[in-house]
Structure 1
């Protein structure tokens, strides 16, 4: 069984309760300190009254008779009792009622002030404190004071403090509720605007004029997030549109050839040609789907690399041999030193990078042209350059060719080239290996960290 949540859900409620809780703790600590200090002060004052009277009694000892002495010592809540041992009897005087803390009231203070405070111990029994003093003639003076009035006064003060604290907290709660409503109104405006944006009004923005406050920075970050999401959404729509457009061509070819097989009575040679065309379109669609999956994994960082030591020059030679079989009309040249050029990476993915670069060069180079692959080291980096004798990439298109479905000029169109995913995939795989792929000085350059 889940415990119900007692904490308020709204930010305004949480702020109000937090401030009220803090005020309650402060008031409790303040009132407790005041009560303890006042109680200690009143009890110390009561003990001082007793010791002062002992000092006065010693000054007046021998000058006044017993009853006169106790009459002079009584008052201000103090009870005086003078006893003579050996059955001499005791003389007592009742205290004058007086509130605690009031020193020497008008009817009963002694006329003499003590020059020194008597050094006698103050004892207690229950709520009564008392002192014993030895006077001349073996007389024993007993002074006592009931501290009940002090305790009652402190208790009354506590009641007043509790009542005043509760009233202050109620007033503070009402004030905080109104203040927090005004202070958090911009946040409520942001919430309303966010709901409008979620309902479809994507062009709306918060546009807080000040960014030097918490709400201003929150509004600016919220607007930036909306801009990024809108750009991502536009890019995703464009990606889906381009992917659908690319898949439409092979699917249309498959459909046309399948309908031809069903509709026409074809001889063996014609059927073989149609089957070959269908296989070609199927491979084209399969490759496009594989490229799309690779791009999606690269975007999510989900490409798994089987890292090992790879001789990049040897790998480039293997891919060049494959390219020669695909384009016998072109000349492929590998330029590399005698020493191995080793990197740490996945040989399959590195081979895919080189294959994509060579396929791009094959489609961009006219018959009789040359494709040159140069592999070498530059410090702690390994560079692989792929150059061709084609028209090259115009400066305005050198950024476009690394975007998804970007083909550049006609030499890299859909008819002669691929779907425009080879170079973006190659750059993404290079980044996954800690390197980069770019177009430098008329050639595509793969830059990878060299193995130790």
Structure 2
């Protein structure tokens, strides 16, 4: 996960960039619209003066007509067709006494029905040229420099105002983002306190329906899980150390006895057998611990099509040779195949049979049944030993839990057989559960049936 330099700075910069884009677009639209409007008004001013000249022609002299048409920046030039006489009027205010011609006020230009007069451009000057009745040529011109200057002044005001607005928006965004991101600073402070050793610190999350509230809840849940995982790890290491201490102490005692007293041959052989037994016990415990660790990390499985009934019969034959005082029964349906690792599936069945052998008294019976249950295959291992008390049924699948002493007749077990069996079952997409019958223990191994 990439960490930016400053989330607050990114938020502020994003707000300023967005505001700059919006203001730029707005100012451009206003300037273009205003410039177009002012130029259109200038053109309309010229064409209206042409219409007014057509209406006033013949009611006054050429100079009076020119004086009537000037104003608002319009320059008037009225000449005869041969250029022998001309009357001009600049855009200065009309002289005193220049009023409307005799004969009443003329009609407004918009009521005249004249053909549109083309407006031409020469640099910054726009002009119209129209031929009036009586062989007169009217030329009206208007300098648009003032329009351009007005637009430029507006642009200057907009730039200055935009910069001020951006500065104020930046300050406001920085303060708002600082207030909005304060929970993240609290999270950082809590994380530092936890790193310093105060593991009980948690974030205050009064609301869980907001983004920061959900983050705080998830952060607290992560801390709880890490703390619980650390506790489980410490418990696991403590239990593993305790289990390894027993065989290692036996090995040490036997070795010291051999070195210190030099016993006779029979006693030496007995001590050697004890050392081998303790070595095997320690090796089995180490193997079980490695298997548990691999299950937690995702054990790789060699999947192939396995006949679960045939595998169970082979494991039952091995268990029968180890416990000749018990009766072993097998049964099931043909074609109960699963996709799995035959070695690991055999380990599951072996652990279940070992658990049943050690819990069943001499003369008892251990039965294994395999049958199909819809899209799954179930292997049931039942024995005639004592039932697991209801209070301990939730603990028998935990590591280093041996359960009731009546089902632990043997010595040397570390309480990892059933947890390993369940972990391997879950790694195959199945599960291992306990079903109490009141007269013995029954374990159900459910696995997905093999795909055709």
Same structural fold, with TM-score higher than 0.5 when normalized by the shorter chain? yes
Q: For residues 64 and 409 of structure 2, what CA distance do their matches in structure 1 show? A: 128
Q: Judging changes above 3 Å, is the alpha-carbon distance between structure 1 residues 51 and 395 closer, same or farther for their aligned structure 2 residues?
A: same
Kept in 2, the 8 Å contact 1:382–1:450? The answer is yes
| 1:74-94 alpha-carbon deviations (Å, 9 max, x no partner) | 110111112323342432221
Q: For residues 220 and 296 of structure 2, what CA distance do their matches in structure 1 show? A: 24
Kept in 2, the 8 Å contact 1:439–1:445? The answer is yes
Q: Judging changes above 3 Å, is the alpha-carbon distance between structure 1 residues 109 and 191 closer, same or farther for their aligned structure 2 residues?
A: farther
Report the equivalent of 1:223: 220
Report the equivalent of 1:300: 297
Report the equivalent of 1:168: 165
Report the equivalent of 2:67: 71
SS at 1:137's partner residue?
A: coil
2:380 aligned with 1:381: no
Count of aligned positions: 439
Kept in 2, the 8 Å contact 1:76–1:105? The answer is no
Kept in 2, the 8 Å contact 1:435–1:448? The answer is yes
| 1:195-249 alpha-carbon deviations (Å, 9 max, x no partner) | 2222111112223222233322222222122111111111111111111111111
1:117: how far off? 6.9
The within-5 A match list for 1:229-378 is 229-301=226-298, 303-337=299-333, 339-378=334-373
Kept in 2, the 8 Å contact 1:380–1:450? The answer is yes
Q: What 5-or-longer segments of structure 2 have no aligned partner? A: none
Q: For residues 98 and 173 of structure 2, what CA distance do their matches in structure 1 show? A: 53
The within-5 A match list for 1:84-233 is 84-96=80-92, 112=106, 113-114=108-109, 115-116=111-112, 118=114, 119-233=116-230
Kept in 2, the 8 Å contact 1:75–1:108? The answer is no
RMSD, aligned CA: 2.4
Q: For residues 106 and 153 of structure 1, what CA distance do their matches in structure 2 show? A: 30
Q: Judging changes above 3 Å, is the alpha-carbon distance between structure 1 residues 68 and 297 closer, same or farther for their aligned structure 2 residues?
A: same
Kept in 1, the 8 Å contact 2:370–2:379? The answer is yes
Q: For residues 250 and 208 of structure 2, what CA distance do their matches in structure 1 show? A: 57
Report the equivalent of 2:385: 390
Q: Judging changes above 3 Å, is the alpha-carbon distance between structure 1 residues 379 and 181 closer, same or farther for their aligned structure 2 residues?
A: closer
TM-score normalised by the chain length of structure 1: 0.91
| 1:32-74 alpha-carbon deviations (Å, 9 max, x no partner) | 1111111111111001100100100111122222222111111
Q: For residues 108 and 329 of structure 1, what CA distance do their matches in structure 2 show? A: 140
Q: Judging changes above 3 Å, is the alpha-carbon distance between structure 1 residues 377 and 182 closer, same or farther for their aligned structure 2 residues?
A: closer
Kept in 1, the 8 Å contact 2:358–2:410? The answer is no
Kept in 1, the 8 Å contact 2:250–2:278? The answer is yes
Q: What 5-or-longer segments of structure 1 have no aligned partner? A: 98-103
Q: For residues 369 and 346 of structure 1, what CA distance do their matches in structure 2 show? A: 31
